[in-house]
Amino acid sequence: MGVTADKRELLEHFMLEGEVTDVTPHGSGHINHTFLVTTDGVKKYILQKINTDIFRDTDGLMENIVNVTAYLRERIKQAGGNPERETMTVIPAKDGTYYYTDADGSDWRVYLLIEHIVSLDQAKNAEEFYASGLAFGRFQAQLADYPAESLHETIPDFHNTPKRYQAFEQAVTEDICHRAESVGQEIAFIKARKEEISVLTDLLQRGELPLRITHNDTKLNNILLDADTHEAVCIVDLDTIMPGLCAYDFGDAIRFGANTAMEDETDLSRVSLSLELYRAYAKGFLEGCGGRLTPKEIETLPLGAKTITLEQGMRFLTDYLQGDTYYHTEREGQNLDRCRTQLALVADMERKWEQMRLC
């Protein structure tokens, strides 16, 4: 507990209220380094070291977040809500920008902490998962008229599954850590599904599915739920807001939240798709989207779940093959375990395919 001199120094560059009394690691995100900042005043903050190996253009990234949250703030006010609780508030740096570059060249940003919430790594019941589906659907509806051309593409081809497949194949060929031989089964599982991975992107290219403004990282811990009611309060992690397919936003939430096991579970017999959670989320998401989705979009939501689960399996395996440089890991083999849960979930979705249909 306490505040190290370097954290204190960098927090001095932001417009905080009160004296900082404590800075502690926070959350279970895989990408940025997140800290909870306590002060002797009323407000608490989130301090984040932005992962600039992944987000190469901090100006563009922060411009997206500042503009989108300003837009959402107006929408929330119009609806009579509380913008400080229902969207992220970026705390400006004292030089008028929205992040600070320290002496090591690392970029840091600060948000207002949203309090009295829970951020879950697993859905506990259908009601709260329904609530998060509703919130992600509403989020998409709220941004339906946002000027898409003003958004920077923070990670190019983020959910371009065919490109993810190419990167995976290249990692297998290069095999820089000599790990490919030990994961032959996983590689074969993915390769056997090669034809399926481009179905959604092909539909997009043919104009049969529309591009929308999507969150692109809709896992359950990126939505904050009220600590008492477990109603959805705020969607966080806005780093990847970009034009995308609605099936991917739907699918990513299912991949994470409707899995009966944790993302890095080592006992694969615990991995399965909960149809109860799946249906609850779908109901909430469709309600939240408020009739905006086309019949083709609704028809392809289950495929979104399967495609992004396979994509995520490929991404985890690619990182494992390349020496675990992308996702934070706490133990040896964690990315491989994560890959295996994704592939086990794909297999279960295939078994339950008929029951996953939504129309």
Applying CB under 6 A, the residues found at the interface with ligand ADP are 26-27, 29-32, 34, 46, 88, 111, 113-114, 119, 221-222, 224, 236-237, 239
Distance CA 94, CA 98 (A): 9
Q: Which two tokens stand for residue 91?
A: 């705390």
Decide: is 29 part of the binding site for Mg ion (CB under 5 A).
yes
Decide: is 274 part of the binding site for Mg ion (CB under 5 A).
no
Q: Which two tokens stand for residue 169?
A: 């194949």
> Reduced to 3 states, what is the DSSP secondary structure of residue 254?
helix
CB of residue 51 to Mg ion, shortest distance in Å: 11
Residue whose C-beta lies closest to ligand ADP: 29
> How many beta carbons lie within 10 A of that of residue 228, not counting itself?
9
- Nearer residue to ligand GN1 within complex by CB, 16 or 236: 236
Q: What are phi and psi of 214, to 5 degrees?
A: -125, 160
CB of residue 275 to ligand ADP, shortest distance in Å: 26
Helical residues (DSSP H) of the chain, grouped into ranges: 5-11, 58-78, 83-86, 126-142, 161-174, 184-191, 199-205, 246-257, 275-289, 295-299, 301-321, 334-351, 353-356
Please state, in angstroms and as integers, the Cα–Cα distance from residue 348 to each residue in 21, 228, 241, following that order: 48, 33, 29
CB of residue 281 to ligand ADP, shortest distance in Å: 18
In this chain, which stretch among 24-32, 120-128, 182-190, 307-315 interacts with Mg ion, using CB under 5 A?
Answer: 24-32
Distance CA 60, CA 45 (A): 22
Distance CA 184, CA 70 (A): 48
CB of residue 156 to ligand ADP, shortest distance in Å: 18
In this chain, which stretch among 40-48, 236-244, 301-309, 339-347 interacts with Mg ion, using CB under 5 A?
Answer: 236-244
CB of residue 291 to ligand GN1, shortest distance in Å: 28
- Nearer residue to ligand ADP within complex by CB, 46 or 339: 46
- Nearer residue to ligand GN1 within complex by CB, 69 or 240: 240
Chain position carrying tokens 């849960």? 341
> How many beta carbons lie within 10 A of that of residue 179, not counting itself?
17
Decide: is 140 part of the binding site for Mg ion (CB under 5 A).
no
Residues in touch with ligand GN1 (CB under 6 A): 29-31, 54, 217, 219, 222, 237, 239-240, 252, 263, 312
Question: Residue 312's binding partner, choosing from Mg ion, ligand GN1, ligand ADP, none, with beta-carbon cut-off 5 to 8 A by kind?
Answer: ligand GN1
Question: Residue 186's binding partner, choosing from ligand ADP, Mg ion, ligand GN1, none, with beta-carbon cut-off 5 to 8 A by kind?
Answer: none
Please state, in angstroms and as integers, the Cα–Cα distance from residue 223 to each residue in 119, 133, 136, 158, 238, following that order: 6, 10, 9, 20, 11
Decide: is 237 part of the binding site for Mg ion (CB under 5 A).
yes
CB of residue 329 to ligand GN1, shortest distance in Å: 12
- Nearer residue to ligand GN1 within complex by CB, 274 or 334: 334
Q: Is 287:263 a contact under the CB 8 Å cutoff?
A: no
CB of residue 344 to Mg ion, shortest distance in Å: 23
- Nearer residue to ligand ADP within complex by CB, 236 or 273: 236
Q: Specify the length of the chain in residues.
A: 359
Q: Is 241:151 a contact under the CB 8 Å cutoff?
A: yes
Question: Residue 240's binding partner, choosing from Mg ion, ligand ADP, ligand GN1, none, with beta-carbon cut-off 5 to 8 A by kind?
Answer: ligand GN1
Question: Residue 263's binding partner, choosing from ligand ADP, ligand GN1, Mg ion, none, with beta-carbon cut-off 5 to 8 A by kind?
Answer: ligand GN1
CB of residue 108 to ligand ADP, shortest distance in Å: 13
* 100-101 and 107-112 beta bridge pairing: antiparallel
Q: Which of 286, 219, 284, 225 is nearest to 254 (CA)?
A: 219
- Nearer residue to ligand GN1 within complex by CB, 16 or 235: 235
Decide: is 222 part of the binding site for Mg ion (CB under 5 A).
yes
Q: Is 241:64 a contact under the CB 8 Å cutoff?
A: yes
Decide: is 263 part of the binding site for Mg ion (CB under 5 A).
no
- Nearer residue to ligand ADP within complex by CB, 13 or 30: 30
Contact set with Mg ion (CB under 5 A): 29, 222, 237
